[in-house]
Every structure is written in structure tokens, then in C-alpha cells.
Amino acid sequence: MRQYRTKLTQEQQDEIYTKHITNGLSPNQLATEYGVDHSTIRSFLKHKGIIITETKRFRPSPLSSTISNDDDLKMVKLYTEDKLNISEISSMFKVSTNAVKHRLIQNNIQIRTLAETKKIYFEKVKQSKSI
């Protein structure tokens, strides 16, 4: 038996767009609310020019609850300004790398790619040799 795709009315599309933009609801949350597959919502939002990136959900480590808001700010500074990597920061705060990554993401910090991390590392090595 063939399953037909659920079509969203124009009114529903307008509501979905507004809820996503103003309330920050994810495609999965909207799909559940409107009874459609999340790919339907993603396709609609993509058609509207909104790029949806896949985000992984991180489970904070038990030690991450010991991280204060001040520590959050220090982690952000160390990562963005001082260019330390996640592993270095986790060692400083004695928490897991996942805890640091989770906190950075919560603070809307874009996590560096491996290539970016390597580039920063080699720049530091080059600087240390020239000193």
C-alpha cells in the first residue's frame, strides 16, 4: 500500500517559518507538532533559504555540573581568543572533552574543524621555534 506525503497548507507553512525563526523550534519539534516527518520541515525551511545543520546532542559528563558560569566564560575566552583546543581546556578544568564541547556549544561557539585545529597548532609550533 502506497503512503502519500503529507502536504502542509500555506497557513501551516507560515506558522512553521515563524515558530522556527522567532521561537527557535527545531525541525524535529515542528514535525512532531504538525504530524509530519522532520524531512518535510527541513525541505520546506531549505526552500525558504534557511540552512539547517545537523547538531548532535551532547550528554554532559557528571563533572560538567561542577563548571560555573564564570568557568564557562573562561572556557570561551581560552577557546576563541587564546586559541587553546578542547583537550587543553578540559585538562585545565579537569573535566571531559565532551563537557567542554557541550559548554562551548551552549554558548553559541562554533567548534573548529580538525583542519582548523591543526592549522592553529602548527602556527603555534612555528611561533615557538622562531622565538
Q: What is the pTM of this model?
A: 0.49
Which distant-in-sequence residues (6+ apart) come within 8 Å of 60 by Cβ? Answer: 98, 99, 102
Alpha helical stretches, state H, 1-131: 10-23, 27-34, 38-47, 69-80, 86-93, 97-106, 114-130
Q: What is the CA radius of gyration of the chain?
A: 20
Query: Regarding predicted confidence, which is higher, 81 or 17?
Result: 81
Taking residue 67's Cβ as centre, other Cβ atoms within 10 Å add up to 19
pLDDT tens-place string over residues 10-52: 898 888 888 887 777 888 888 888 888 888 888 888 887 777 7
